[in-house]
Amino acid sequence: MNLILLGPPGAGKGTQAQKIVERYHIPQISTGDILRAAVKEKTPLGLKAKGFMDQGQLVPDDLVIGIIGERLKDPDCNQGFILDGFPRTIPQAEALQPILVKLGKSIDHVISIEVDPEELVRRLTGRRTCKNCGAMYHVLFNPTQHEWMCDRCGGRLYQRDDDKEETIRTRLKEYEKQTAPLIQYYKSKNSLRSIQGIGGLDEIFERMVRLLDTKPR
């Protein structure tokens, strides 16, 4: 099962992707995670990406297209994959097509998670992530038992640098300008399905599973 998760920052793509990984045993490919790791390691990719990410702007298309082109070749993608945070622009979506064709793959589901902007700001300002295992939490909506400590592995939680209110506003604007047009793009190819992203984590996952377990159009 090859899947694209679309949605604004804070919609719950990463949270739902982690649940899909557990149930369907296919890898989550998050361009954001790959870029953050590159920034931390100060690789050439990380050095190029850092300034854009700190500002809340999108990283240039050629960099992320390169990442995806390489990652999809890995053998763990043969049973399927979840693209979380890619594509994020029309040129990225257009570049994905020939990459997939070359690898003999195609996309089965494009799912858009819909959440209104005020809720997104609340979600992003309270987001916490485990440094060790990547589990995602929220100070109010999905708190851990002990502050700053992961329930799953005991690792330390951190707050992302770009989850500050000012940077969040820029990211939401970037989303409207560059990523929202993808909804129409996939709609016109008859391959988009939307789910309402408000509700409990498990409730939303149930909506997701219902779509994933029905035959794609």
Give the residue numbers annotated as catalytic, written as ranges: 13, 88, 127, 160, 171
Tokens of 40: 């931390």
- Is the CB of residue 145 less than 8 Å from the CB of residue 189? no
Q: Is the peptide bond before 60 cis (omega within 30 degrees of 0)?
A: no
Choice from 132, 170, 184, 196 touching Zn ion (CB under 5 A): 132
Choice from 130, 157, 192, 208 touching Zn ion (CB under 5 A): 130
Site membership for Zn ion, residue 155 (CB under 5 A): yes
Q: Tokens 């640098």 appear where?
A: 161
Site membership for ligand ADP, residue 29 (CB under 6 A): no
Identify the three-state secondary structure at position 140.
Answer: coil
List all residues 6 or more positions away from 112 whose beta carbon is below 8 Å from its beta carbon: 6, 7, 183, 186, 192, 193, 194, 195
List all residues 6 or more positions away from 57 whose beta carbon is below 8 Å from its beta carbon: 170, 174
Report the C-alpha gap between 134 and 96 in whole angstroms.
26
Choice from 14, 96, 110, 172 touching ligand ADP (CB under 6 A): 14
From the centroid of its chain, how far is CA 70? Answer: 18
Site membership for ligand ADP, residue 9 (CB under 6 A): yes
Min CB(130)–Zn ion separation in Å = 3
Min CB(32)–ligand ADP separation in Å = 2
Q: For the chain, give percent helix, strand, coil, nearest 5.
A: 50, 15, 35
Nearer to ligand ADP, 49 or 212 (CB): 49
Site membership for ligand ADP, residue 137 (CB under 6 A): yes
Q: Could you tell me which stretch among 73-81, 100-108, 148-156, 196-204 binds ligand ADP (CB under 6 A)?
A: 196-204
Site membership for ligand ADP, residue 32 (CB under 6 A): yes
Interface of this chain with ligand ADP, residues 51 to 90, rule: CB under 6 A: 52-53, 56-59, 64, 85-86, 88
Report the C-alpha gap between 202 and 195 in whole angstroms.
13
Task: Give the footprint of ligand ADP on this chain (CB under 6 A).
Answer: 7, 9-15, 31-32, 35, 52-53, 56-59, 64, 85-86, 88, 92, 123, 126-127, 136-138, 141-142, 162, 171, 199, 201, 204
